[in-house]
Chains A and B, each alone.
Chain A
Amino acid sequence: MTYFLPSLMLLALVAGIFTGYPVAFLLAGLSVLFMLLGDIALPSFSLITSRVFGAVLENWILAAIPLFIFMGIMLDKSKVANKLLTELEALFGGKPGGMGLAVVIIGIIMAASTGIIGASVVLMGTLALPMMLKQGYDKTVAIGTILGSGTLGILIPPSIMLVVFGDVMQIPIGDLFAGALIPGLMLGGFYALYIIYVALTNPKRVPPGPPPPAGSRAKLALRLSINLIIPGLLISSVLVSIVVGVATPTEGAAIGAFGAMALAFFSRELSWRVLVESLKETCLTTGMILILAIGATAFSLIFKRIGGQSMIEDAASMLGSNPYMVILAIMLLIFVLGFFLEWIEISFLVLPLFAPIVAGLDFGDAFASQSEVMIWFALLVAVNLQTSFLTPPFGYALFYLKGIAIPGVTTADIYRGVVPIVLMQLLGVLLLALFPAIALWLPGKF
């Protein structure tokens, strides 16, 4: 029973999580409890103190998080997404499937919008779903499109999840952003192909809207390109500057936040009240993420101190020497954890335990360097988590969509609608696992 205490600590964590008590404080409290049980002298708490200061507060990478959140909220408040949707819809109006494609495009562009799954699913669900249903879209197709596009935000940069991944796995954020772009666009492309396929085989399920009046098309295209280009330019300049290395993630995020504020201002959406509300919202989300980081820091420190790390390593070594089997096992575990945990807990708590194991795997000649392995692993986890959030019956994203209760949409509709999307996601994970170049090609260019 050498691993009695660390097993007990994990068990206590699982049990505690299901009581619904805030995870951040649960983690923090368990660290104190197991210090006592593990007979660690109380003054060792000063180690936790200095670790919390060093790993969370003094951490300039994490300082990008409030800035990215603020940028997302500002973009949201500037109402570009709403304008884009109506304009794209009008442009594609005459064709079946047009509106579905518009939703996918907005999902990709506005992925920056929050990075918090719930928020973007709710945004897309309240904005686009009623419009699609009114136009006579088949519920299954509409719901699938919304869920896929709404969750793409955790993958497509600048995603705050990737910022945290980079921090805990010590991968340059620029490499992760560059690496996530092609997998993200690939998944977005899958959703678009799905809609086009339905439009070709069964156009009644994705009926066209009223065609735009003749002659107005050019004007519409102009207005659309302005609304599409400005936020697109803003986000891509932030991304490019971080990927190329001209700006640190924090700097890129600050420029983005300022730009998004300017955008909201010139769209005449930035009132004093909107500004104050957005700042408060950013502050609350920051508190939610970073207090959890503090709790997870304390938990991990004590967990390792009582032998948790070697327990995890021993468990991993039982999987044999095939590195792909180890990756598969970790992915399955993360997939299941994704049913219950947000990406925040997974990245601060679970990834730091597995990252050293993955770093020690020997893939032979499959990768040029160990840092490539880490980028590939991080993106596999990202796509895997997105899939997990979509998978019935537990997927987080499904609960959020249920929560906004669109009339006429039942739980069964949501489950049915998301199945094709989950299948496409699984295909995406598989492709990424078999062809790491999908993730590694772009970072290799810089």
Chain B
Amino acid sequence: MESRRSCSSAMTRWGDALLKACALPGRYGSALILILVLVVLAAVIGAQFGLSDLASWTTPIPLFGNHLNMTSIGELQWHIFSLLVMLSGAYALKEDRHVRVDVWSVRFSDRTRLIVDILGDAFFLIPFFALLAWYSWAFMAMAYGFGEQSNAGGLVDRYLVKAVLPIGSVLILMAGVGRVLRNVGLLLSAGNENAAIKGTSQ
């Protein structure tokens, strides 16, 4: 009995820690919004002045290759956006900000709500994001293999932006696992407390 309780509280602790860890990249990733604003503004200003090629250098660097032009800046916009979206998923999960329809569920007990989340995470969230991580890894590997890059002379290394898909999926997946652990821990410890209360009252 005692050991089961400490086991469930350990589950809650570890699950919570995992959930928090997965949310961290999104929390800091929110700074990407500021960068996005600046990059789009740079594109607007550049277009006003009719700029096209901005800089070039000899040693190629990842993502940019050996040149920076307006096409690169244009493509950088959706690169940043993709990263932001895939990082924000796990963060929003931790803060419980994904839309729920609570017309009926407001009347559910805490216990029922925990069970709904555990089942949902286990049978909907985890399988989907596991598959998405698996298949998007191949998707990225293919881009890497072919050396896919912009066909308008912009950014190179398309595999980098495709990598946000497996990275984000794994974050959401692990956040989901963390939430299941936490919720199962909560459910067990709540059960134990009820049993304990019953025990003392009898």
- State which of B13-21, B38-46, B60-68, B192-200 sits at the interface with chain A: B38-46
Asked if B89 is at the interface of the complex by the 8 Å CB criterion, the answer is yes
Chain A, residues 25-43, CB within 8 Å of chain B (1/0): the string is 1101111110000000011
Contact A70 B37 (CB under 8 A): yes
Cβ-based interface call for B54 (8 A)? no
| Assembled-state Cα–Cα distance A255/B95 (Å) | 29
Q: Which residues of B contact A261 (CB under 8 A)?
A: 37
Whether a CB of chain B sits under 8 angstroms from the CB of A22 is: yes
Could you say which residues of chain A place their CB within 8 Å of the CB of B164?
57
* Chain B residues closer than 8 Å to A5, beta-carbon distance: none
Q: Is the CB of B123 within 8 A of A58?
A: no
Residues of A within 8 A of B78 (CB): 57-60, 63
Instruction: Please tell me if the beta carbons of B98 and A279 are within 8 angstroms of each other in the complex.
Output: no
| B136 at interface, CB cutoff 8 A | yes
Residue of B30, B102, B120, B138 touching A282 (CB-CB under 8 A)? B30
Alpha-carbon gap, A251 to B77, bound state (A) = 10
| Nearest residue, chain A, Cβ from B101 | A17
User: What separation, in Å, do the CA atoms of A22 and B165 have in the docked complex?
Assistant: 20
Name the A residues within 8 Å of B88 (CB-CB): 283-284, 286-287, 290-291
**Contact status B81-A66, CB under 8 Å:** yes
Whether B102 contacts A255 by the Cβ 8 Å rule is no
CA distance A59 to B82 in the complex (A): 9
B190 within 8 A of A: no
Q: How far is the CB of A404 from chain B (nearest CB, A)?
A: 16
Q: Which residues of A contact B81 (CB under 8 A)?
A: 57, 60, 62-63, 66
| C-alpha spacing A19/B103, complex, angstroms | 9
Interface residues of A in 293-342 (CB under 8 A from B): 294-295, 298, 339-342
Task: Identify which of A45-53, A95-103, A373-381, A415-423 touches chain B.
Answer: A45-53
Q: Encode A330-358 as 1/0 by CB contact (under 8 A) with B.
A: 00000000011110110000000000000
A247 on the B face (CB < 8 A) = yes
Are A46's CB and B135's CB within 8 A?
A: yes
A63: contacting residue among B77, B104, B125, B127, CB under 8 A: B77
CA distance A63 to B82 in the complex (A): 8
Write the nearest CB–CB distance from B117 to chain A, whole angstroms: 7
| A25 interface neighbour in B29, B33, B103, B128, Cβ under 8 Å | B128
Q: Give Cα A15–Cα B117 distance, bound, in whole angstroms.
A: 14
Instruction: Point out the residues of chain B lying under 8 angstroms from A23, CB to CB.
Output: 98-101
B144 at interface (Cβ–Cβ under 8 A)? no
Residues facing A in B111-168 (CB within 8 A) are 113, 116-117, 119-121, 123-125, 127-129, 131-132, 134-136, 138-139, 161-162, 164-165
Instruction: Please state if A292 and B84 are interface contacts (CB–CB under 8 Å).
Output: no
A7 within 8 A of B: no
> Contact: A29 with B86, CB < 8 Å?
no
Residues of B within 8 A of A279 (CB): 30-31, 33-34
B134: which A residues are within 8 A, CB to CB?
A: 45
Alpha-carbon gap, A33 to B139, bound state (A): 22
For the complex of A and B, 4 pairs with smallest distance between CB atoms: A29-B124, A20-B105, A287-B88, A287-B92
Question: Which residues of B are in contact with A by a Cβ distance under 8 Å?
Answer: 26-27, 29-34, 36-37, 40-41, 43-44, 77-78, 81-82, 84-89, 91-93, 95, 97-106, 108, 113, 116-117, 119-121, 123-125, 127-129, 131-132, 134-136, 138-139, 161-162, 164-165, 172, 176
Residues of chain A having any CB pair with chain B under 8 Å: 16-26, 28-33, 42-43, 45-46, 48-50, 52-53, 56-60, 62-63, 66-67, 70, 247, 250-251, 253-255, 257-258, 261, 276, 279-280, 282-288, 290-292, 294-295, 298, 339-342, 344-345, 394
Could you pull out 9 A-B pairs where Cβ atoms are within 8 angstroms? Answer: A20-B104, A23-B100, A25-B176, A26-B120, A29-B124, A60-B81, A250-B77, A280-B30, A287-B89
